[in-house]
């Protein structure tokens, strides 16, 4: 408490202090909405699995092959190399740093998650460690971006994922025979991760050193709090869906990031064009050919 609390200006403080709009938006709007969004993402994925179940080939799956470090697209027996070793290392480095950021940032974001701080040695350690983890995460995200960007070029049919095609895919009611190594949804998620990574870095830097930006860019600190929280919430909800699609919803996908390979039947079902390009199978089902002409 101040000795002369009725004169805060004597201490270099505002004479008539008010709560910034950014604080109200963060505490009164983003936090409750964010908690609902995160919980909703978990409930939605569970509901989807109970309603539609996993999407997997009808043909029997071949036995799991040993971990493969060959070039991507190489055919090894009944399997195709989908992710080489460097790709898997970058992916898991990014994933580990993301969850370290999540667990260290949640106690800072809300007291509800204060118990998570004990894993790092307390809240003070989280406040010190979180920005450094953020820098590491951004570096890993950029490495992933430049490693995969050639395969993530948006094609004409990919833009359909912004509309009904995504709903049809989630309902397991259609499969585009022209889907390459990555479908439109995966490409959109890829660019979203890159943009959110950049947003979280820029806003995090302002929050890390607010005094540097207080004078030349008044109000930037408050805006950064809002954008940082909003970006984090969108990222976290998207990751819930990403994990679900990579595990329970699409069996065989997770193995591509652990062993590096997928079965030919998996590739033919989920990425038909990529399967034809790698396995050299130019055959198409009549229904698929008709769908491609429409």
Residues with catalytic annotation? 242
Contacts of 176 (CB under 8 A, 6+ apart): 157, 165, 183, 272, 291
Residue 64 has what DSSP assignment? Answer: P
Cβ–Cβ < 8 Å for 197, 288? no
Following CA atoms 131, 133, 134, 140 in sequence, which dihedral angle do they give, to the nearest 10 degrees? Answer: 160
Q: Read off the tokens for 250.
A: 């699409």
Alpha helical stretches, state H, 164-280? 164-170, 184-208, 210-214, 220-244, 253-256, 264-270, 272-279
Q: How far is CA 136 from each of CA 209, 244, 288, rounded to the nearest angstrom?
A: 18, 25, 44
Report d(CA 193, CA 70) in Å as an integer.
Answer: 27
Report d(CA 48, CA 52) in Å as an integer.
Answer: 6
Strand partners, 252: none
In this structure, the number of other CB atoms found within 10 A of the CB of residue 292 comes to: 14
Contacts of 234 (CB under 8 A, 6+ apart): 196
- Residue among 202, 208, 207 nearest 23 (CA): 207
Contacts of 84 (CB under 8 A, 6+ apart): 69, 70, 71, 72, 260
Q: Residue with structure tokens 């895919």?
A: 169
């Amino acid at each position: 408490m101040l000795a002369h609390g009725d004169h805060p200006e004597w201490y270099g403080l505002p004479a008539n202090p008010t709560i910034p709009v950014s604080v109200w938006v963060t505490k009164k709007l983003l936090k409750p909405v964010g908690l609902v969004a995160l919980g909703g993402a978990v409930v939605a994925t569970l509901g989807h699995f109970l309603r539609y179940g996993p999407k997997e080939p009808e043909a029997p799956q071949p036995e799991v092959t040993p971990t493969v470090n060959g070039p991507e697209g190489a055919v090894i027996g009944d399997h195709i190399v989908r992710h080489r070793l460097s790709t898997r290392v970058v992916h898991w480095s990014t994933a580990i740093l993301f969850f370290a950021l999540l667990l260290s940032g949640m106690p800072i974001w809300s007291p509800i998650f204060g118990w998570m701080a004990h894993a790092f040695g307390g809240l003070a350690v989280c406040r010190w460690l979180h920005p450094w983890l953020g820098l590491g995460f951004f570096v890993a995200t950029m490495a992933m971006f430049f490693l995969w960007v050639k395969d993530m070029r948006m094609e004409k049919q990919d833009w359909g994922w912004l509309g009904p095609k995504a709903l049809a895919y989630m309902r397991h009611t259609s499969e585009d025979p022209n889907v390459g190594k990555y479908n439109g949804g995966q490409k959109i998620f890829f660019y979203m991760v890159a943009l959110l990574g950049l947003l979280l870095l820029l806003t995090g830097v302002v929050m890390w050193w607010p005094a540097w930006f207080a004078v030349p860019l008044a109000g930037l600190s408050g805006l950064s709090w809002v954008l940082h929280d909003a970006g984090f919430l969108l990222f976290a909800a998207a990751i819930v869906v990403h994990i679900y699609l990579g595990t329970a919803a699409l069996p065989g996908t997770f193995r591509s990031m652990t062993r590096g390979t997928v079965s030919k039947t998996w590739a033919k079902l989920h990425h038909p064009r990529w399967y034809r390009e790698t396995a050299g199978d130019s055959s198409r089902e009549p229904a698929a050919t008709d769908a491609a002409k429409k």
